[in-house]
Amino acid sequence: MAPPRRALLVLALCLAAAAGAKALRPTVRLADTRPPIDLETLFPREFAGWRVEPHLLAQVVNPQQQALLNKIYNQTLARTYVNAQGQRVMLSVAYGGDQSDSMQVHKPEVCYPAQGFMLLGNEWGRVDTAFGPLAVRRVDTRLGSRHEPVTYWTTVGETVVAGGLDKKINEMRYSLTGRVPDGMLVRISSIEPDAAAAYVLHDGFIRGLLAATPQNARGRVAGLAAH
């Protein structure tokens, strides 16, 4: 094939690829097709023996990370709950209406060490709820005398994703239908030297929280059935 003809063929293929990519680019935000989310009202302030302590806040990220957090997420929520036994659990939630950007930099196994915490453990777990099993990540951290075990999960649309690859696959599924999914990162932690005991506490908190979550929002919060 003569060089000019080869150059024209390459140019034609490049233009076709560009046109195809543009055609497949999602144009509809899933969040715009569903009822808007308000984290303050979505997550109850009192449930199953837990109530919010109004003067104690759970810190989502340190101040140096706040600008980036605000850029990626539309809303954040930070609360500390206490029960009748005086046990405390910190709840942190970050919601983004456009999950074309990665949430990965804000996963606890990344952001906790960035704040100086030691990473003592990082493994998958499961919480059995009345609405089905919930896949979670267990991250055991420590900073000096502060031992803070963490349980968290991440959603894309109404699916809990297991790691970065699973997240990308689910994003692509939405993309093929022309939609951009929303997503949420829900984090529960407590100050407790016994990580196993902390995770038992977290599991009970999660079960109560999901039971108190409105049925029509449970899928968006934890990828679980509405019934």
Kindly report the pTM of this predicted structure.
0.80
Residue-wise pLDDT for 42-63, tens only, equals 999 999 999 999 876 655 545 4
Nearest to 186 by CA among 53, 114, 89: 89
Is the predicted pLDDT of residue 117 greater than 80, yes or no? yes
Residue-wise pLDDT for 139-165, tens only, equals 999 999 999 999 999 998 788 888 777
End-to-end CA distance of the chain: 64
**72-105: b or e for each residue (b if 16 or more CB lie within 10 Å)?**
ebebbbbbbbebeeebbbbbbbbbbbbbeeebee
Give the C-alpha separation, 224 to 158, whole Å: 8
Which stretch of 29-38, 54-63, 119-128 has the lowest confidence by average pLDDT? 54-63
Is the predicted pLDDT of residue 128 greater than 80, yes or no? yes
Percent of the chain with pLDDT strictly greater than 70? 70
Computed over every residue of the chain, the mean pLDDT equals: 81
